[in-house]
């Protein structure tokens, strides 16, 4: 079975023995929890879309390793067209969920691990690439969702991993056995871990020889013994428990973040992709970050499409779609959004083949893409809030609207254009609130800033890859300067 249906995916997750905690309590069935279920629905959509004939070329591809049609989220990029199709697929998924659909980190982990394990084996004669390929085929054959875990808590940012007062602030190997290793630590800001069958763990920074125990990468089930998750709070998250779908803005879809604890987790030898080869930690971080920064030129654009549409609907419902300043703001939102998409496509189109055989994006343009994502969505949100008006954050609840006594007053005084119901007007305003300030902010606005690395991380890479020396030579040649 190479392609699961959405319902099969949900049933497969219900069978997992995940250790999930939220609000100080263990969640016995995350798939049925009202706060957590919308995030699973977002992942489910990646399975549903793959079943639709009209999206087959974007959502699926024939694996060169199994010969079967697989979900593109489990694919190793074979060409620049694959890289561009990835971005187009991510835009589609963003359009359909208006939330984080959570499978990008796994896909980006696959492609980073593919080339780095190859390079490591070439130098050391290890078997990491074989381990990885066996895992990849296992995932493709079962159409599994795989999380990618890179970010450590980090503790004192001024100290290397081995120099931290608490050695567990970076995930590390605590024991080596004949049949595998034991690891301890945590991974923070884990989007989608709670909805994944497996996880690929990677180091979070470049490392030196003293950090060998921290230079570790592996795969394991998300319900492996010793792993548990503490779900992070999101603005307006408890609205989902109130039985008032309108107030959530996006009743069906959402995203989830968690702090994931690895408490002496055993990893068998055939699931290890790096163990002590510290000089390759930086390569893995750089390549994964590049792929993931490319991803933002797709997913954030798709969610942006929804937000732009919501702002335009709000203008219709407010009775001012023809106002020149409103039209100009919507044009600006579209300009910014398409610029992000252009960056995602550009870094893909200029991708190159690695020695291992897969294709990697143009790293400079991928970092430019993500640097723009740290800025443009904030302006898109500002303009959407401007068009929507203050009612977006001051409107009464759905229960007030439906209350026998209060409802008629809410309906009377909060109606906009006469032919549009007050309920529909409030629904679109709540969606804008959700995308701008609420539980989707982690998948759009705030996550645009910090996901795939903070703005300074991209600026460092742009500095490294911008080839300033070459540009100086160009200027000197034009000016006929000889030194």
Catalytic residue selected from 191, 204, 256, 422: 191
Average pLDDT, stretch 193-203? 98
Catalytic residue selected from 93, 104, 343, 347: 104
The answer to whether 70 and 278 are in contact (CB under 8 A) is: no
Query: Which pLDDT band, with edges at 50, 70 and 90, does 444 fall under?
Result: confident
pLDDT at 16: 98
Average pLDDT, stretch 2-29? 97
Catalytic residue selected from 9, 128, 296, 444: 296
pLDDT in tens, 451-467: 888 899 999 999 999 99
pLDDT in tens, 128-183: 999 999 999 999 999 999 999 999 999 999 999 999 999 999 999 999 999 999 99
Average pLDDT, stretch 392-406? 97
Check if 29 is active-site.
no
| CA 107 – CA 427 distance, rounded (Å) | 34
Check if 100 is active-site.
yes
Percent of the chain residues topping a pLDDT of 70: 99
pLDDT in tens, 326-382: 999 999 999 999 999 999 999 999 999 999 999 999 999 999 999 999 999 999 999
Catalytic residue selected from 93, 220, 299, 369: 299
pLDDT in tens, 57-88: 999 999 999 999 999 999 999 999 999 999 99
Nearest to 150, CA basis, from 291, 56, 244, 21: 291
The answer to whether 20 and 30 are in contact (CB under 8 A) is: yes
For 173, the token pair is 């190997």
pLDDT at 235: 86
pLDDT in tens, 32-47: 999 999 999 999 999 9
| CA 43 – CA 217 distance, rounded (Å) | 24
pLDDT in tens, 73-132: 999 999 999 999 999 999 999 999 999 999 999 999 999 999 999 999 999 999 999 999
Q: How far is CA 314 from CA 76, 130, 198, 383, in A?
A: 41, 54, 41, 12
| CA 128 – CA 126 distance, rounded (Å) | 6
DSSP output for 75-132 = PPP-SHHHHHHHHHHHHHHHHHHSS--S-HHHHHHHHHHHHHHHHHHHHH---HHHHH
Predicted TM-score (pTM) above 0.95: yes
Average model confidence (pLDDT) across the chain: 96
pLDDT for 446 beyond 90 = no
Catalytic residue selected from 74, 80, 100, 291: 100
pLDDT in tens, 416-442: 999 999 999 999 999 999 999 866 656
Check if 343 is active-site.
no
For 163, the token pair is 């120099």
pLDDT at 1: 61
Listed in order, strand segments (DSSP E) in 125-215 are 146-149, 172-177, 180-187, 198-201
Check if 257 is active-site.
yes
Cβ of 293: how many Cβ atoms within 10 Å? Answer: 29
Check if 104 is active-site.
yes
pLDDT for 387 beyond 90 = yes
Check if 279 is active-site.
no
pLDDT at 354: 98
Catalytic residue selected from 292, 343, 374, 398: 292
pLDDT at 456: 93
Reduced to 3 states, what is the DSSP secondary structure of residue 39?
helix
Give me the domains of the chain, ranges plus CATH numbers: 6-282 (2.40.110.10), 283-466 (1.20.140.10)
């Amino acid at each position: 079975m190479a392609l699961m249906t959405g319902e099969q995916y949900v049933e497969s997750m219900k069978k997992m023995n995940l250790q999930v905690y939220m609000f100080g309590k263990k969640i016995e069935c995350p798939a049925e929890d009202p706060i957590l279920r919308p995030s699973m629905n977002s992942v489910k959509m990646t399975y549903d879309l793959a079943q639709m004939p009209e999206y087959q070329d974007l959502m699926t591809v024939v694996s060169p390793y199994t010969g079967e049609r697989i979900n593109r989220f489990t694919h190793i990029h074979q060409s620049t067209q694959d890289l561009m199709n990835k971005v187009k697929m991510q835009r589609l998924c963003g359009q359909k969920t208006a939330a984080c659909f959570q499978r990008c980190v796994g896909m980006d982990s696959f492609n980073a691990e593919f080339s780095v394990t190859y390079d490591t084996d070439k130098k050391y004669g290890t078997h990491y690439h074989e381990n990885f390929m066996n895992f990849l085929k296992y995932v493709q054959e079962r159409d599994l969702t795989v999380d990618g875990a890179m970010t450590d808590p980090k503790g004192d940012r001024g100290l290397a991993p081995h120099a931290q007062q608490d050695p567990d602030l970076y995930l590390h190997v605590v024991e080596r056995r004949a049949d595998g290793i034991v690891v301890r630590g945590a991974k923070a800001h884990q989007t989608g871990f709670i909805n994944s069958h497996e996880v690929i763990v990677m180091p979070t920074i470049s490392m030196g020889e003293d950090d060998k125990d921290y230079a570790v990468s592996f795969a394991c089930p998300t319900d492996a013994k010793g792993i548990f998750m503490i779900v992070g709070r999101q603005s307006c998250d408890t609205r989902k428990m109130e039985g008032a779908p309108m107030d959530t803005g996006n009743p069906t879809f959402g995203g989830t973040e968690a702090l994931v604890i690895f408490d002496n987790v055993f990893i068998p030898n055939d699931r290890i992709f790096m163990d002590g080869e510290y000089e390759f930690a930086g390569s893995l971080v750089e390549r994964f970050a590049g792929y993931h920064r490319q991803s933002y030129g797709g997913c954030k654009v798709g969610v942006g499409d929804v937000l732009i549409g919501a702002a335009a609907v709000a203008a219709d419902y407010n009775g001012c779609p023809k106002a020149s300043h409103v039209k100009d703001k919507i044009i600006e939102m579209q300009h910014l959004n398409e610029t992000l998409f252009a960056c995602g496509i550009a870094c893909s189109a200029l991708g190159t083949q690695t020695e291992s055989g897969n294709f990697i994006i143009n790293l400079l343009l991928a970092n430019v893409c993500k640097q723009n994502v740290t800025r443009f969505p904030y302006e898109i949100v500002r303009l959407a809030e401007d068009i929507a008006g203050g009612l977006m954050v001051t409107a009464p609840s759905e229960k007030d609207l439906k209350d026998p006594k209060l409802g008629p007053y809410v309906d009377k005084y909060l109606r906009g254009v006469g032919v549009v119901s007050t309920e529909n007007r409030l629904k679109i305003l709540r969606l804008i609130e959700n995308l701008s300030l609420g539980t989707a902010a982690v998948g759009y606005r705030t996550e645009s800033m910090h996901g795939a690395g903070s703005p300074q991380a991209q600026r460092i890479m742009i500095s490294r890859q911008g080839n300033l020396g070459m540009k100086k030579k160009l200027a000197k040649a034009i000016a006929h300067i000889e030194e």
